[in-house]
Amino acid sequence: MSSRFIWHCRNNPKRELWFAWWATVVFYNFFTVSFFILSHTQPPANPALDAQGAAQWFEKNHYGILLGFAIMFLVTGMTAPQNALIAYSMRRMSITPAFGYSYLVLYSLSAVPGMLLLCIVLTVGALRPDRKPELQQWLFDLAFLSYVGTMGVFLIGSLVWMLAILIDKNRVFPKWFGYLNLCNALTEVVVSPAWIFHNGVFAWNGLIAWWIDMVVFGVYTGVFITLLRQMIIREDFGTGPLPDLPREAAS
Amino acid sequence: MNTAFEKRLPIVWSALSLMTLAYLWLDHTADKAGVRTASTVVTVSAILIALIKVRIIFREFMEVRHAPLLLCRLTDAWVLMMAVCLFGAHFIGLLRS
Amino acid sequence: MRRTDGELILFWTLPATGLIWIAAFFLFPGFVHPMSPTMSAAAVAAFYRENTGRIRVSMILFNWFCVCLIPVLMLLVVQMRKMAHRTPIFSYCMVACAAGGPAIFLLANLFWLLAAFRPERAPELTQMYNDLAWVTFTIQVPYLIMQSVLLALAIYCDRQARPVFKPWVAHFNLLVAAALAPAAFTGLALGGPMAWDGLLPFWVKNITIAIWIVVMGVVIAQTIRRQRVESEVAA
Amino acid sequence: MTQTARADARVRFVPGQPDMWAFVLFETLVFTSYFVVYLLFRTQHHELYLRAQAGLDLQIGVFNTICLLSSSWAVARCVQASRHGAYRSALTNAFLTVFFGFVFLVSKVLEWARQIRMGNGFTANEFFQHYFFLTSIHCLHLLIGFVVMGVVVYQLLSPKRRSQELVETGATYWHTVDFLWVLIFSLLYVVR
């Protein structure tokens, strides 16, 4: 088993692609553990909490936040292989390289306001549970709003990928996944009322602005990880249409 | 040259428009002395009419009539699913309120 | 024909950047004896009141020049493109990482400047900005770790008769990644070797970054020189 | 004529790219979930919703619906015309589609402006939160629909392109915008 693994590391012609794919999978596992289990930032805390409530929320999740986000600080770099792999998928298409580069830059840029800022600010909040509650609430708002409220980069990024897939002639991805990108892009629009409401279904933890969007994003992520895997299996390092999935690999 | 098709579309459009106009009548009869009141009958019939319209749009406008059986079954299943979800949401909500 | 004009100019920006960084580092009064996370709000506020000028100048310097590492990282990307890889994945990853480190540092830089902007404000507020700045500064490692790991992997995958970089560069980069890792956990302790002024997150991390820049600078210089000699011989 | 024969012989075919149907079904699921949330919350504050709902004008809603139904009719005619090679007629119908869509858009914007002037803005109350959310996310689909119709017109314009598959795909999208509005209309304006 392990000797086979080492053989693949040394000789598999697709090892670079597989590295990027596994980095993606591992990253999302860390992300789930850190956000959903350790820090309890997903599902998000209640935006209707008053200053005292926000301070108590920090106190209650003290170690979860500190440990969970320490893990994120360690592994966030793994988003780079993911974005690189997706950019590569666009390089494999029959379209201008501008698409791949646009996606690479958009998504590399998105990680700082869209995720790391939340991790940093919540870490600062948890660091001093005895800070004035008003300040704790300020940190609380900054963290969650920067996280759910960073929309444009993901919106335009998804649209770039969608357009690339729809006009591609090399069959790198099925067209329906192109349309699924549109669904994902629309969730970034749906989340925008989170900047307005403190409670209800459109708040940042609301049924529509968070739960439904999260389900769509979860489906989207699951689908693209699967499709990227199939793309790597189908890859022939040519420039023409990508061959079909080989029989034994499909089963 | 394509008469068989063309004739169906105006009929479909008229039927859909009539069903839309029926809402005016439905809304009018539901008012009690000009005051809006909650009415399960209106709710259920409004959703029902909408779902029937959706199914007609699927079958006629979107040409599911001529599509493979799988797509026919899928769209029908979707209409049914919507019916279950919408009625379910309404009645569960009523029970809980 | 490989186009190399300007390569050396970009390379020689590195020592200049290094000088400016060292100057700014020593100019900032909170670095030489790193500020302790256990300082009281009043002490932090007093620190910003007393050292306002030096903080502002040093941080404005950093604001101007902290992104200067990017051209050098791009020289590394160019070298990665010369490696015997099947795909451009590694160089894409490197590009994706390159902006991350400076962007996080810029954020920390802004918080420091904000803290010094109105030093007479309520001490709790200044302390919060100070916390934000130090935490951001200390945990800026994710993209640096990834860069080193990527570089190592890229070198290991570079299987040709005369690889672009020697294997020891890869081992060195893995070591760097390991040395940077503890800084990610700085939030867990306000005192001791894991605090943001402690041994691992401050001294080990920052010295490692400095060593990495020096070593990679030398490696890039040697590689570029070798490539220039080879292309002259060929011409 | 072969296409007519194909249809007459009851050879079954999926109109447009099957991939678009995946989008239609998925997007319908997403909208159904919005509707479920709306209906659930509606029954919790029934009085408030009824009172707020009285501010809407059903006649405008009926007009909107008939506009979109007409545009759907036009795009269905466009598909059939282009299938039979009558590209001039197909183009006319494509423009008619866009025209009806545009009338819908204008009347929607006027309705929004009227509601906001009456004090029923996005933040006025729960009913109007849902009203503005559902109508504007639907309007966004309509705007995307204009882009899609642009692709259809582009296909129909030149004999070099004229991909029947793309025309049908665009039409399928447009009908989706239509039937989603049919649902939104009945849920926002009529349901009691």
Q: How does pLDDT run across C73-125, given as a tens digit for each residue?
A: 999 999 999 998 999 999 999 999 998 889 999 999 999 999 999 999 999 99
**Domain-wise residue ranges, chain D:** 58-192
Q: Which long-range contacts (CB under 8 A, 24 or more apart) does C195-199 make?
A: C195/C36, C195/C37, C195/C38, C196/C34, C196/C37, C196/C134, C196/C135, C196/C137, C196/C138, C197/C34, C197/C35, C197/C36, C197/C37
Chain C nearest CA to A141, separation (Å): 14
User: In the block, which residue shows the tokens 């914007």?
Assistant: D109
pLDDT at A251 over 70: no
Query: Residue C136: its pLDDT value, please?
Result: 96
Query: Residue A142: its pLDDT value, please?
Result: 96
Average pLDDT over residues A6-11: 83
Chain A nearest CA to D126, separation (Å): 8
Q: Chain B: residue nearest D40 by CA?
A: B93
Residue A164 dihedral angles phi and psi, to the nearest 5°: -60, -45
Interface contact flag, C131 A73, Cβ < 8 Å: no
Q: How many domains does chain B have?
A: 1
- What residues make up the domain containing B17? 3-96
Asked if residues D7 and B1 have their Cβ atoms less than 8 Å apart, the reply is no
Q: How does pLDDT run across A174-206, given as a tens digit for each residue?
A: 999 999 999 999 999 999 999 999 999 999 999
Which of the following CATH numbers is that of domain D58-192: 3.40.50.12280, 1.20.120.80, 3.30.300.30, 3.40.800.10?
1.20.120.80
- Among D18, D19, D123, whose Cβ lies nearest the Cβ of A196? D123
pTM of the model: 0.92
Predicted-complex ipTM score: 0.91
Angle in degrees, CA D48, D50, D56, rounded to 5: 115
Q: How does pLDDT run across D59-70, given as a tens digit for each residue?
A: 999 999 999 999
- Among A17, A65, A75, whose Cβ lies nearest the Cβ of C87? A17
Asked if residues D135 and D110 have their Cβ atoms less than 8 Å apart, the reply is no
Measured CA to CA, the distance from residue C134 to residue C201 in angstroms comes to 11
Q: How does pLDDT run across D34-93, given as a tens digit for each residue?
A: 999 999 999 999 999 999 998 999 999 999 999 999 999 999 999 999 999 999 999 999
Average pLDDT over residues C210-224: 95
Give B-chain residues touching D12 at CB under 8 angstroms: 66-69
Q: Which of A166, A167, A175, A192 to mutate to test the interface with D (most CBs of D within 10 A)?
A: A175
Average pLDDT of the residues of chain C: 93
Q: Which of D133, D136, D169 to mutate to test the interface with A (most CBs of A within 10 A)?
A: D133
SS3 D140: helix
Q: How does pLDDT run across A113-159, given as a tens digit for each residue?
A: 999 999 999 999 999 999 999 999 999 999 999 999 999 999 999 99
Q: How does pLDDT run across A17-74, given as a tens digit for each residue?
A: 999 999 999 999 999 999 999 999 989 999 999 999 999 999 999 999 999 999 999 9
**Is residue B1 very low, low, confident or very high in pLDDT (cuts 50, 70, 90)?**
very low
Residue D7 touches chain B, beta carbons under 8 Å: yes
- Among B13, B49, B67, whose Cβ lies nearest the Cβ of D14? B67
**Domain-wise residue ranges, chain A:** 2-250
Residue A108 touches chain C, beta carbons under 8 Å: yes
Average pLDDT of the residues of chain D: 91
Asked if residues A117 and A146 have their Cβ atoms less than 8 Å apart, the reply is yes
Query: Residue B33: its pLDDT value, please?
Result: 67
Report the percent of chain A where pLDDT is more than 90. 86
pLDDT at D12 over 90: no
Q: Which long-range contacts (CB under 8 A, 24 or more apart) does D43-48 make?
A: D43/B90, D43/B93, D43/B94, D43/B96, D43/B97, D44/B93, D44/B96, D44/B97, D45/D126, D46/B38, D46/B97, D48/D125, D48/D126, D48/D127
Query: Residue A1: its pLDDT value, please?
Result: 67
- Among B43, B82, B96, whose Cβ lies nearest the Cβ of D191? B43
**Is residue D10 very low, low, confident or very high in pLDDT (cuts 50, 70, 90)?**
low
Q: Which of A115, A83, A97 is nearest to A228 (CA)?
A: A83
Measured CA to CA, the distance from residue A247 to residue C33 in angstroms comes to 64
Interface contact flag, B61 D192, Cβ < 8 Å: no
The crossing angle, in degrees rounded to 10, of helices C52-65 and C100-117 is 160
Give D-chain residues touching B6 at CB under 8 angstroms: 77, 80
